[in-house]
Amino acid sequence: MANSHPTFCTIIPPHVLDKVATSGDPDLAPVARHTLETDAKQRTRRQLNIALGVPDEVGIIRGSGPTEHPTRTLHDCGNSTRLPGAKVRDEGQDPGQDATVNRVYAGLGSTFELLLSGYGRSSLDGEGLPLVASVHYGRGYANAFWNGQQMVFGDGDGEVFLDFSQSVDVIAHELTHGLTQYTANLTYFGQPGALNESVSDVIGSLVKQYVLDQTADRADWLLGAEILGPRVNGAALRSLKAPGTAYDDEILGKDPQPATMDGYVRTGRDNGGVHINSGIPNHAFYLAATELGGKAWERAGQIWFDTLTGGALHEDATFRDFAGATLDAARERYGDGEELQAVTKAWATVKVPTG
């Protein structure tokens, strides 16, 4: 399944940038407002193109066939907002002087490698899709996004958010929106949107653990720990281990993610709370992975990957739909053993029904 109108997905949710934009800080607020305005323009442009039927340069592209090696291309926007920018590194070229380019190149490669070696999938579309990214987007732009065709990274403001290439899980998170686009194509609103975000958090965390060769019990289960700046009191953007505890800060506010359905947030903002309620399926994955132990990308990750790519999910899947599908995936691959028990227990703990 492929989405003919890909979704614009950012790593920093609007409610966080809103907090900074209204903080009254003369140094930080203008940068946050500029980031919000830039993101809004991107979203509006896509929505208008869809509504008017305007041909869109951000369409679905596919690889030429499965390959065991990534095809990466890196561009430098030079602090402009014109995409893709000047080409600065092609696949196979040696690292250059720009650390941001080198980090993104490596992160794209690590994500490709986990998808291939862990799950037998050649890139996002299964057909060797080239991986394209642009860095140094905008001036002080405090976000990173997937626009349906490529990755884009800002440099951050240096105070609240640092260079977005510094967290490999952020790179993998945004790429995974592309994986979802080419598979389950979960609608980016409400519960399916929160699942869309959660899958990106899960695979982002798995890529980080894969790069560090960590077992589930040794991982920190934090997303974006490396991009929080010196002005922030917090550990990361999100925590799969303990949703709602990633940060508690005068500028950013308190992490609003719930860990169970008891705290489910009903809101019209942030596409129906996609970055907030994703904490619930995130925590379910953490519980299943730590219950099973070992390398989280193996059994627990395989079940989630099978669920996303197996074709059973519809675009408007709810938490209950997804939970039931993970049980089916666990049973199909592993039978009625400890894998099925761990997944069942995890969803029960976060109070999502699976029947």
For residue 6, the model assigns a pLDDT of 58
Mean predicted lDDT score pLDDT of the chain = 92
Give yes or no for a contact between 104 and 153, defined as CB atoms under 8 angstroms apart: yes
Mean pLDDT computed over 219-243: 97
pLDDT at position 323 is 98
Burial tier of 217 (Cβ tally within 10 Å: 0-12, 13-18, 19+): exposed
**Cβ-contact 320, 301 below 8 angstroms:** no
As given in the structure block, the two tokens for residue 65 are: 């066939």
Neighbours of 355 (CB within 10 A): 6
Of residues 284 and 45, more confidently modeled: 284
Interval 171-223: pLDDT, tens:
999 999 999 999 999 999 999 999 999 999 999 999 999 999 999 999 999 99
* Total residue count of the chain as it appears in this document: 355
Q: What integer pLDDT is reported at residue 176 of this predicted model?
A: 97
Given a cut of 90, is residue 8 above it in pLDDT? no
The token pair that represents 35 in the structure block: 């980031």
Which band of pLDDT confidence, cut at 50, 70 and 90, is reported for residue 45? low
Question: Per-residue pLDDT for 59 more than 70?
Answer: no
Residue 148, pLDDT score: 86
Distance CA 199, CA 207 (A): 12
Rounded Cα gap, residues 213 and 171, in angstroms:
17
pLDDT at 269 over 80: yes
Cα dist from 88 to 63, 91, 101, 314, 353, whole Å: 21, 10, 8, 39, 49
Give per-residue burial for 68-107: e unless 16+ CB within 10 Å, then b: eebbbbbbbbeeebebbbeebbeeeeeeeebebbbbbbbb
Residues carrying an active site annotation = 174, 275
Provide φ and ψ at 131, rounded to 5°.
Answer: -105, 115
CATH 1.10.390.10 residue ranges of the chain are: 190-349
Span 247-270, average pLDDT: 95
Cα–Cα distances in angstroms (integers) from residue 144 to residues 50, 172, 175, 317, in the given order: 22, 11, 11, 26
Report, as an integer, the average pLDDT of 283-293: 98
**Residue 292: helix, strand or coil by DSSP?**
helix
Query: How are beta strands 86-90 and 72-76 bridged, if at all?
Result: antiparallel
**pLDDT for 54 beyond 50:** no
pTM of the model: 0.94
Residue 56 has a pLDDT of 46
**106-116, pLDDT tens digit by residue?**
999 999 999 99
Helices H, strands E: what count in the chain?
A: 10, 10
Instruction: Decide if pLDDT at 319 tops 60.
Output: yes
Place 53 in a pLDDT band, splitting at 50, 70 and 90. very low
Beta-carbon contacts of residue 322 (< 8 Å; ≥ 6 apart): 195, 281, 307, 313
The stretch 268-275 carries a mean pLDDT of 93
Which pLDDT belongs to residue 61?
63
Write out the residue limits of the CATH 3.10.170.10 domain(s) in the chain.
9-181
Per CATH, is 9-181 categorized as 3.40.630.10?
no
Q: Using alpha carbons, list the distances in angstroms from residue 183 to 7, 136, 344.
A: 13, 29, 24
Q: Is 247 in a helix, a strand, or coil? A: strand
| Mean pLDDT for the stretch of residues 112-141 | 97
Contact indicator for 153, 74 with CB cutoff of 8 Å: no
d(CA 290, CA 277): 21
pLDDT of residue 46: 54
Lowest mean pLDDT among 8-22, 34-48, 84-98, 226-240: 34-48
C-alpha distance from residue 321 to each of 101, 209, 288, 309, 326 (Å): 39, 27, 17, 14, 9
302: buried, middle or exposed (CB in 10 Å: 19+, 13-18, 0-12)?
A: middle
CATH number listed for the domain at residues 190-349: 1.10.390.10
Q: How confident is the model at residue 47 (pLDDT cuts 50, 70, 90)?
A: low
